Copies of this chain bind each other. A is one copy, B any other.
Amino acid sequence: MTEKRSRPTIADVARHAGVSTTTVSHTFSGKGVVAAATRERVRATAKSLGYRPDVVARGLRSNRLGVLALVLRPLETLDSSLPEGVDYFLRFAGSAALAAMDFGYGLMLVSDPTREESPAAALACDGFLITEPVTDDPLIEMLLGEGVPFLSVGKDPARAAYDNWIDTDTELMTDLVLRHLDDAGATRVALVAGTDPNSWNLGAEASYRAWAAVRGQDPMVVHRPETTGESGGRDAADELFDRSDPPDAVYCLTGRHAAGMLTRVRERGFDVPGDVQIVGGSDSEHTRSATPPITSVDLQPELLARVAVTQLVNRLDDLDRPVPPGKLHGRLIVRNSTRTP
């Protein structure tokens, strides 16, 4: 046999330290009873050999890999265009990766593993995080079926029988936005929603319609796919302002729609916020750096991600680590696209 270039195994350490593999294992896991002197000797030889436990072998035995899967639903439509809410998802993914690391887990970005062409490794994860599941989400179906732990941020709108989801309280946020516009003097508010059938779009629209009904305003709802971005927003603007009874305020659920809306509305000669007020439902670069900057909802993806990861790993490890404090619903950031009451 030629020089084997492989890493030392637990058996090598055991041999060099003159103990059994069991003792080496116990030394590192802290499970059995190992004399302090032996423990030290094992530690020392392990270090001198450059031994690192093989995660895969450990995973086989213990059935845990130390990896969380993150399914960013909207990422699956990403091709060479950007997914909606760029900010939101990177901030979520980045923060989730760091939070997972804090608990000794890795974070794997996966596309829907129910699809055939999905990599096999996607299924080897200990738990799943799903942002904005869609109606009758097949992944949730599968995870429930196989008993794999998961947590969804936002609820599968069609499913009643699960409770491991984080409520971002879309309804409350919608009310907050509508009340803000109301206070600022808007009388005819329109809604521009996306087309993904998730709780974000559906919940907001339901709240809006309820609010309009109470108020006696006939609802004005326009849908544009999330992927259309700014051009979708401009487009929606044309649809709304070609009407005989155009709105005097528009709530766009995505930041990019809001930005496109703003541009087009001003092109059509309206003053913002004088003639028309605009609010974005998901704060992003688009809303922050528009002229004027757009009032919008900061969904606090970092906080959401930390909470989600903490809850999930608590379930996995059967521990009760404290969840970061804070309200999980978004916060309204008032900017110049709406009038201060």
B111 with A97: CB separation less than 8 A: yes
Q: Is A18 an interface residue (CB 8 A)?
A: no
Q: Is A80 an interface residue (CB 8 A)?
A: yes
- Size category of the A interface is 35 or more
- Smallest CB separation, A232 vs chain B (Å): 15
A123 with B91: CB separation less than 8 A: no
* Closest B residue to A95 using CB positions: B78
- Smallest CB separation, A175 vs chain B (Å): 26
A78 with B104: CB separation less than 8 A: no
Q: Chain B residues with Cβ under 8 A from A107's Cβ? A: 108-110
Q: Is A83 an interface residue (CB 8 A)?
A: yes
Q: Is A101 an interface residue (CB 8 A)?
A: yes
Q: Is A60 an interface residue (CB 8 A)?
A: yes
A119 with B90: CB separation less than 8 A: no
B93 with A119: CB separation less than 8 A: no
Q: Is A297 an interface residue (CB 8 A)?
A: no
Q: Chain B residues with Cβ under 8 A from A289's Cβ? A: 259, 285-286, 289-290
Among A51-59, A128-136, A177-185, which stretch is in contact with chain B? A51-59
Q: A117 to B289: give the CA distance in the assembly, Å.
A: 37
Could you mark each residue 111-154 of chain A with 1 if its beta carbon is under 8 Å from any beta carbon of chain B, else 0? 10000011111111000000000000000000000110000000
Q: A79 to B99: give the CA distance in the assembly, Å.
A: 10
Q: Chain B residues with Cβ under 8 A from A106's Cβ? A: 108-110, 119, 121-122
Q: A57-B60, A80-B302, A87-B82 are in contact. Are A109 and B93 (CB under 8 A)?
A: yes
Q: Is A221 an interface residue (CB 8 A)?
A: no
Q: Chain B residues with Cβ under 8 A from A259's Cβ? A: 289
B119 with A100: CB separation less than 8 A: yes
Which A residues are closer than 8 A to B by beta carbons?
5, 7, 52-60, 63, 65-67, 72, 75, 78-80, 82-83, 86-87, 89-91, 93-95, 97-98, 100-102, 104-111, 117-124, 146-147, 259, 284-286, 289-291, 302
